[in-house]
Amino acid sequence: MNYLVIMPEEIKDGEKAVLTGSRAQYFKDFHGLKEGDEFRALLYGAGRGSGCVERVDKKEVVLKAWFNEEPLPRVPLAVIVAVPRPQTVKKVLQTCSTMGVTDLYFVRSENSEKSYFQSKTLEPQAITEEIVKGLEQAGDSVPPQVRVETLFNPFIEDLLPEQLATEQFNTALKVIADPRAPVEQTALSARPAGWDGAGVLAIGPESGWSDYERRKFEDLGFQMISLGRRELRVETALGALLGQLQLLRHFPVQE
């Protein structure tokens, strides 16, 4: 059964939801549901439930939805990505939404193209569109908090230390995926004592973080890890690293 995200502002009169404009067109292009069809409903940023299609016409889509289930459980998980090419931004947004990432930062790196920050894929509406696709894939309703940081130093010296000092992340596994790391250095070897499952993952450009950037991360307690000898695309490295973290959570190694 299809999962369908409904925005809070689309809710009208309690159980009724109305989709118009680009949202109605997205419904027609990607879901193809007809009047009377049922679906699994996801209220963006809130709960989950079920619904049915009441009417589909040229101007709008009218739905009826009930939200009586909690969002999927999640563990604090922040992902830091050196801003990649626009098509990769879309893949990163969808992957993070599907995998339950709580915080996502796109940051400037010395080795990434400055022009990438001018891409429309980093505009709020475009970000939300890709997040919706990821949530619908997972059947989840809570999106990651996404921030675009155009300056590296204010991020690494002010914002990130504040995040790491919070209760959510003060015992987090903090790692930098870097192609220059020795292959024996893995997420497993970086796991801290008393780890509660939280993680902060930093993925640089395909050529890696600069020496300066890597030192700044290490000053905050990040450990450099390897994902193997192959040079990976950003979205491939992200999926591999999130998979390793998932494995560590469910199959902890005995101390």
The superfamily CATH assigns to domain 3-69 is Hypothetical PUA domain-like; domain 1 (2.40.240.20)
DSSP state at residue 69:
E
Q: Which two tokens stand for residue 217?
A: 């991360």
Q: Residues 76-87: pLDDT tens digits?
A: 999 999 999 999
Query: Which has more pLDDT, 228 or 166?
Result: 166
Average pLDDT over residues 198-227: 91
> Hey, what amino acid is at 25?
Q
Which class would CATH give 77-250? alpha beta
Q: pLDDT category, 2, cuts 50, 70, 90?
A: confident
Mean pLDDT of the chain: 91
Quick check: 171 and 192 in contact, CB under 8 A? yes
Residue 239 predicted with pLDDT over 70: yes
Average pLDDT over residues 113-119: 91
CA distances from 231 to 35, 107, 144, 205, 214 (A): 48, 20, 27, 10, 18
Pairing of strands 60-69, 16-20: antiparallel
Alpha-carbon dihedral angle through residues 83, 87, 92, 98, given to the nearest 10 degrees: 160
Q: Residues 7-27: pLDDT tens digits?
A: 999 999 889 999 999 999 999
Spans of all domains in the chain: 3-69, 77-250
Quick check: 206 and 230 in contact, CB under 8 A? no
pTM, rounded to two decimals: 0.92
Q: Which two tokens stand for residue 235?
A: 């979205």
- Residue ranges with strand state E in the chain: 3-6, 11-12, 16-20, 38-43, 48-56, 60-69, 77-82, 103-107, 145-149, 173-177, 199-203, 223-225
The CA distance from 4 to 156, in Å, is 37
The CA distance from 133 to 61, in Å, is 18
Query: Which pLDDT score, from 0 to 100, does residue 131 have?
Result: 98
Query: Which pLDDT score, from 0 to 100, does residue 253 have?
Result: 55
Three-state SS at 94:
helix
Average pLDDT over residues 92-110: 97
Cα of 50 vs its chain's centroid, Å:
24
Q: Which two tokens stand for residue 4?
A: 């369908």
Q: Which two tokens stand for residue 37?
A: 């069809």
Which span out of 48-62, 173-187, 195-209 was modeled with the highest average pLDDT? 48-62
Query: Which pLDDT score, from 0 to 100, does residue 255 have?
Result: 53
The lowest-confidence range among 130-134, 135-139, 191-195 is 191-195
Three-state SS at 209:
coil
